[in-house]
């Protein structure tokens, strides 16, 4: 059965099939066409009780910006969860959440259904967050205009891990932050350098080992480059015993 994503947003058109620049192309589009993933965007404004379909109000205590109100968010979540019998894992996209790392993506890819709440403005009233108790996830230490782009990032990362989505199911395992194949310590390393035709370009040649046909040597070279590149660029990924974190 396809994994189901429900996105609660005030800008559902960002997820429309008529706006393919984000989720309507490449791997997500392939997964949807193959019946391996599905997603449905719901307009939180549809659940506003205000005649102007407002979902936000000024913050108590003063200050800039607007805050999304409890009632439209709560009612939207309750209504959408009832659309499918599968239990939904609630997720709020927020810069205050836990970092979205590959290990977490792998766990989310095992779920049957993810309900993504894309906040906007200054944020969402804290009371409805407490009552919904969603998993709070951040895609990085910066602030976006809303949670929609963050939701797309999470969706793309999850979808590519679904068996059958990629041309080769081993591709995802060899990516950066995956558990490195052949590494006895099971570390999550950055990917190694890659090369393709032509063999020589601008005076630079492809490493000889990659042309050797010796798969054992090639695997060893790739793992060595992964360790080397990770140590240089992301020493924080190494365990404490190496004194790098």
DSSP one-letter string for 83-128: TSSSPPEEEEEEEEEEE--HHHHHHHTT-SEEEEEE-BTT-B-HHH
The reply to whether 175 belongs to the active site is yes
- Out of 4, 90, 113, 160, the active site residue is 160
- Out of 122, 136, 191, 228, the active site residue is 122
Can you give the pLDDT at residue 169?
62
The reply to whether 112 belongs to the active site is no
The reply to whether 122 belongs to the active site is yes
- The pLDDT averaged over each successive group of 10 residues in the chain (245 residues) is 96 78 83 95 96 95 95 98 98 97 97 96 94 98 95 96 83 78 90 96 98 97 96 89 45
Can you give the pLDDT at residue 243?
42
Tell me which fold the domain 176-242 belongs to: 1.10.1270
Separation CA 187–CA 144 (nearest Å): 31
Tell me which fold the domain 3-159 belongs to: Alpha/beta knot (3.40.1280)
Tell me if 3-159 shares its fold with 176-242: no
Residue pair 138/97 in contact by the 8 Å Cβ criterion = yes
- Out of 45, 75, 95, 228, the active site residue is 95
Residue pair 234/187 in contact by the 8 Å Cβ criterion = no
Domain boundaries, the chain: 3-159, 176-242
- Out of 107, 175, 185, 205, the active site residue is 175
Q: The dihedral of CA 213, 219, 220, 225: what is its sign? A: positive
DSSP one-letter string for 159-203: HTTSTTSSSSTTTGGGSTTSBPTT-TT--B-PPPP---S-SEETT
Can you give the pLDDT at residue 9?
97
């Amino acid at each position: 059965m396809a994994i189901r994503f429900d996105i609660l947003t005030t800008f559902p058109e960002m997820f429309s099939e008529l706006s393919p620049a984000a989720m309507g192309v490449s791997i997500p589009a392939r997964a949807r066409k193959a019946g391996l993933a599905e997603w449905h965007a719901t307009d939180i404004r549809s659940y506003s009780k205000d005649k102007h379909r407002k979902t936000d109000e000024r913050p108590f205590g003063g200050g800039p910006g607007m805050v999304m109100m409890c009632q439209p968010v709560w009612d939207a979540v309750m209504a959408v969860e009832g659309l499918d019998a599968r239990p939904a894992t609630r997720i709020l996209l927020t810069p205050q959440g836990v970092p979205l790392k590959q290990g977490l993506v792998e766990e989310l890819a095992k779920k049957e259904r993810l309900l993504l709440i894309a906040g906007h403005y200054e944020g969402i009233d804290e009371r409805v967050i407490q009552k919904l108790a969603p998993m709070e996830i951040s895609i990085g230490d910066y602030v976006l205009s809303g949670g929609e782009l963050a939701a797309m990032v999470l969706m793309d990362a999850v979808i590519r891990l679904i068996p059958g989505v990629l041309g080769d199911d081993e591709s995802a395992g060899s990516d950066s932050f995956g558990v490195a194949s052949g590494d006895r310590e099971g570390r999550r390393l950055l990917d190694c350098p890659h090369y393709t035709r032509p063999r020589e370009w601008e005076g630079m040649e492809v490493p000889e080992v990659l042309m050797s046909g010796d798969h054992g040597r090639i695997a060893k070279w790739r793992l060595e480059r992964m360790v080397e590149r990770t140590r240089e660029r992301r020493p924080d990924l190494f365990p404490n015993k190496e004194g790098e974190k």
